[in-house]
Structure 1
Amino acid sequence: MSAQNSAGIQTLLDAEREASKIVQKAREYRTKRVREARDEAKKEIEAYRAKKEAEYKAFEAQHTQGNKQAEEEANREVEAKIAEIKETGKKNQDKIIKDLLAAVYQAHPTPAS
């Protein structure tokens, strides 16, 4: 009977080792699947982010084009006005200087009332 008990114990130990191997393989498989799922999710997130970024850039380009045109038009108008003011200043420079000097040299003080 002792040999039979020993064989039974050995069979149980072998079954336990086999079960342990099966459990270990299942854990490894689960860990592998979790990593694969995480990597796949990261790829999907990155693709979605890139898609939305492209959509945003297209939207921004479409809606800022009008602003750029208005800004360029305003800059052209400002440059034209500045050129006009400079030209007017050059034409009347001598007269303005004479008038300023005459006002300084020919002061007509008036008493305060």
Structure 2
Amino acid sequence: MATQQSQSIQTLLEAEKEASKVVQQARQYRVQKLKDARTQAAKEIEEYRKAKEQEFKAFEASHAGSTQSAQTAIDKETDVKRKEITEQYNKSKDQVVKKLLDRVVLVKPELHRNLKKIEA
């Protein structure tokens, strides 16, 4: 009976060792799968980033011409407006200066309306 118990204990110990090996292998397998998943995710993220970057560059290239043409049109319009303003200034400056001088030189001496005459 002691021999049988000894054999049973030995079998249990061997089964326990085998189970711990299986558990260790499972842990290693899980760790490896996590590493593989991280690597795969990093690759997918990089591919997605490259695709979006190319998409952005294409969008930027297609709209760059319209920005330059809009800037050119705005510059032309600004030059036209500036010329109009300069013409108006040159045309009206003599009249404005004359009106200002007339107002400054024209002085009507009057008593202030709040000043009352003192009757003696």
TM-score above 0.5, yes or no: yes
Higher helix share: 1
2:13 maps to 1:13: yes
Question: Per-residue displacement from partner, 1:25-61 (whole Å, max 9, x unpaired)?
Answer: 1121122112211221122123212311320232133
Equivalences, count = 106
Identity rate, percent: 46
2:63 maps to 1:73: no
Structure 2 regions of 5+ residues with no counterpart?
108-120
4+ aligned runs moved over 4 Å, structure 1: none
Q: Higher mean Cα deviation, 91-100 or 44-53?
A: 91-100
Partner of 1:27: 27
2:55 maps to 1:55: yes
Superposed CA RMSD in Å reads 2.7
Q: Tell me the CA shift for residue 67 of structure 1.
A: 3.3
Structure 1 regions of 5+ residues with no counterpart?
108-113
What's the TM-score once normalised by structure 1's chain length? 0.70
Q: Tell me the CA shift for residue 69 of structure 1.
A: 1.2
Name which one, 1 or 2, has greater alpha-carbon Rg: 2
What's the TM-score once normalised by structure 2's chain length? 0.67
Partner of 2:43: 43
